[in-house]
Structure 1
Amino acid sequence: MVIAVALSIILHGKRTGCAGSDSLITRFIIVTLHQGIVTAILQFLQFATYVGTFHSGSSKLIWALFYFPASKIITNSLLTT
């Protein structure tokens, strides 16, 4: 999330005033924020399900539903950013 916000601030400062490049920069900002939001939501769901099933022992691995795809999503977000 920090990377998405920092990149959005940097890109916002790089606006040139030309309509074509400004619309492209706006698209980059939107894509970056969406990736940050999706990653943050996935990490929050993983944390919430882990804390919710912490006292159940190792028999409830519901948090693993969010843990395994998270690494691929985070890697793809960083590569596209």
Structure 2
Amino acid sequence: MRTNIDYYFTVTSPWSYLGDSRVREVAMRCNATLQHRPVNAGEIFSKTGGLSLKDRSAERQAYRLRELARWRERLK
């Protein structure tokens, strides 16, 4: 019996982009089926008190870009 992996992601997130090939590799290696579960990040933020990127402070936005760059380099 194949295992299912529920894969929650949002198409507007660079984090989803960075992780997509890796979650696919895990599924293949484990002979699992990916169940794609797209989510609306804006809707989640509004319901949970999170801030969308445009509403975050300039400092948080700048830090996010630095963090993405570090992960991009690490995952090469």
The TM-score normalised by the length of structure 1 is 0.34
Greater relative CO, 1 or 2 (CA 8 Å, sep 6+): 2
Say which one has the larger Rg.
1
The TM-score normalised by the length of structure 2 is 0.36
Q: Which has the higher helix share?
A: 1
